[in-house]
Amino acid sequence: MVKADGLGNVIRYPSPMTTNHLAAITFDAGGTMIYCDPSPGELYAHHLSRLGRPVQADEVGPIFRDAWAAMQRRSVPGQDRYNSIAGGELAWWGAFVREVLSRLDHDAPWEPLLEDLYAAFCEASIWKVFPETMSTLEALAGRGVRLAVISNWDRRLPDILRSLHISEIFETVTVSSHEGVEKPSSEIFRRTLERMEISAEETIHVGDSPLEDYSGAENAGLGAALIDRHELFVGELYRRISSLSEILDLVG
């Protein structure tokens, strides 16, 4: 819930949540349930160094994050970024790789680099599940809570979730690149709830992005919880959790 005070400042309050009627929880994927190890910075540094001047992960990591933010600013919020340019998601990743190269002033040729990185991120072995994920999902399912995924991701996500053996527990996996719409748009939440034949009022969405997950869910009428694993939002008025297992307290 967002309100303006008398001075025109926006104040955010955690929205009231009637946990008695909680029927479903939807989860973001990256940073919420799964992560990649080696990190994107390490993977980029490895492949950049193979194709051009040697670079270290600590040089590439911040550039990767800045390039991601820059690409994000260029896309229309809520519109599926991977289909926002001609050529679809591979073309989007090509533009991203060129953004990284230009910010690094790096000499690697972008096309072989894109090919190597696209293959590297398809490797099941780089994806990991946060330790408490599976036990939390199983405990929720055991209490009769219905589970789904809503993720801004390209078409590779369903295979990644399958390879991590966490697909089966979800009733539905909604992926932005399939939908043509992404969080924070209410539309991607609405479509998921419609598929589950469930109302927004009896659903909570859990994710690590204040904008895409928390505000997106609240604007769509769902309850929201922000997973803040690195304590970036301490003292801010989000319903914060630092581990997925804390959701069990919300469910009661």
Residues near Mg ion, by CB under 5 A? 28, 30-31, 208
Query: Which residues fall within 8 angstroms of residue 247, CB to CB, at 6 or more apart?
Result: 25, 136, 140, 204, 206, 225, 241
Per-residue DSSP letter, 181 = B
Smallest distance from the beta carbon of 55 to Mg ion, in angstroms?
A: 26
Q: Of 114 and 227, which has the nearer Cβ to Mg ion?
A: 227
Nearer to Mg ion, 99 or 208 (CB): 208
Supply the minimum distance, in Å, between the C-beta of residue 208 and Mg ion.
4
Nearest residue (CB) to Mg ion, 31 versus 61: 31
CB 30 within 8 A of CB 153: yes
Least distance between Mg ion and beta carbon 212 (Å):
7
User: Least CB distance from residue 2 to Mg ion, whole Å?
Assistant: 21
Q: Quick one: 89 or 208, whose CB is closer to Mg ion?
A: 208
Of 33 and 101, nearer to Mg ion (C-beta) is 33
Provide, rounded to whole angstroms, the least separation between the CB of residue 232 and Mg ion.
13
Q: What is the sign of the dihedral through the CA atoms of 118, 124, 127 and 133?
A: positive
- What residues contact residue 64 under an 8 Å CB cut-off, 6+ apart? 40, 41, 44, 100
For residue 7, give Cα distances in angstroms to 3, 13, 215: 11, 17, 22
The residue whose Cβ lies closest to Mg ion is: 31
Of 176 and 186, CB closest to Mg ion: 176
Alpha-carbon distance 148 to 170, whole Å?
5
* Shortest distance in whole angstroms from residue 162 CB to Mg ion: 19
Yes or no: say if 239 and 14 are a contact pair by the CB < 8 Å rule: yes
φ, ψ for residue 188, nearest 5 deg = -70, -30
Closest to 90 (Cα-Cα) out of 74, 71, 114, 113: 114
